[in-house]
Amino acid sequence: SPDNQQSDDHRIVLTWPHGDNDSAYAGNNFGTTVTVNAVAQQVPFDEVEPETPEEPGTEIPGGDDDEPGETVDAKIAIDYNIENIWTPGNPGDNNPPEFQYKIVIKNLSDSAIENWELSFSLTDDQYKNSIWEATLNNNEQRYHVNPLNYNQVLRAQSTVNFGGHGITGGSDIPKDLKDLKLTGTIMENGSSTTVTYEADQIKYTRLP
């Protein structure tokens, strides 16, 4: 019946055992017609595409093995630059090394941050009170840095920086900043909104 007929053209290859009486299958002359019976017509002739090996996937670094301190969606970048280290006084005085530092804050977000404040902790080191390009307050080893009048707006994709001098807690080099936090205000939907960026949104880099 028409339902049993194949709608597409197919190539059928017939094979038979080797023998002297091949004419029983294909006749004696070229061009002999071979009829495929109804049972063969009902056999599905859908082509089976060969499986293509999958290309090796590109491994994405990180995942469950991300190193501590890596940020998923950083809004702020903090670069801590130690520009110079020296030991004051005479060699036998046993004075702890002092250093000059520079901190660069970059706003990675799309909104300007006004009246920003950066706060952090120092494990053993101490900052001297006099710094440039900002003001510094210390409350039980928790330092708070505030802008001056001319750099109180941290524009989107822009940077501000400040620096000063510090004293190590006895080690040869200063230690990293800890527990970073940046607060400020942004304009959102026509109104001022307070924002707080903590460690998971701050990309911290120590240089060198």
Per residue in 98-138, pLDDT (tens digit) is 999 999 999 999 999 999 999 999 989 999 998 999 999 99
> Where is pLDDT greater, at 194 or 23?
194
Write out the DSSP string of 151-173.
G-EE-TT-EEEEEEEEE-SSSSS
pLDDT digit string (tens) for 77-93?
999 999 999 999 998 89
- The band of 182, judged by pLDDT with boundaries at 50, 70 and 90, is very high
Cα–Cα distance for residue pair 143/156, rounded to 1 Å: 24
Tell me, rounded to whole angstroms, the distance of Cα 188 from its chain centroid: 26
> Residue 66 pLDDT > 80, yes or no?
no
CA distance linking residue 189 with residue 119, whole number of Å = 27
CB atoms within 10 A of CB 96: 16
Which of 155, 157, 120 has its CA nearest to residue 136? 120
Question: For the chain, what percent of residues have pLDDT higher than 70?
Answer: 65
- Per the CB < 8 A criterion, the answer to whether 129 and 68 are in contact is no
The pLDDT of residue 68 is: 46
Q: What is the pLDDT of residue 92?
A: 87
Residue 60 has pLDDT above 50, yes or no: no
Measured distance CA(183)–CA(158) in Å, rounded = 16
For residues 20 and 179, what is the distance between their CA atoms, to the nearest angstrom? Answer: 93
Give me the half-sphere count of Cα atoms (radius 13 Å) on the Cβ side of residue 33. Answer: 3
pLDDT tens-digit map of 7-27: 555 565 555 555 555 555 555
Residues 6+ apart with CB under 8 A from 134: 145, 146, 147, 148, 151, 162
Residue 59 pLDDT class (50, 70, 90 cuts):
very low
Identify the three-state secondary structure at position 26.
Answer: helix
Q: Which one is predicted more confidently, 52 or 103? A: 103
- The predicted pLDDT at position 78 comes to 99
Instruction: Check residue 156 and give its pLDDT.
Output: 98
Residues sharing a CB contact under 8 Å with residue 95, sequence separation 6 or more, in sequence order: 87, 88, 89
Average pLDDT over residues 152-171: 97
Domains of the chain (ranges, CATH numbers) = 75-207 (2.60.40.290)
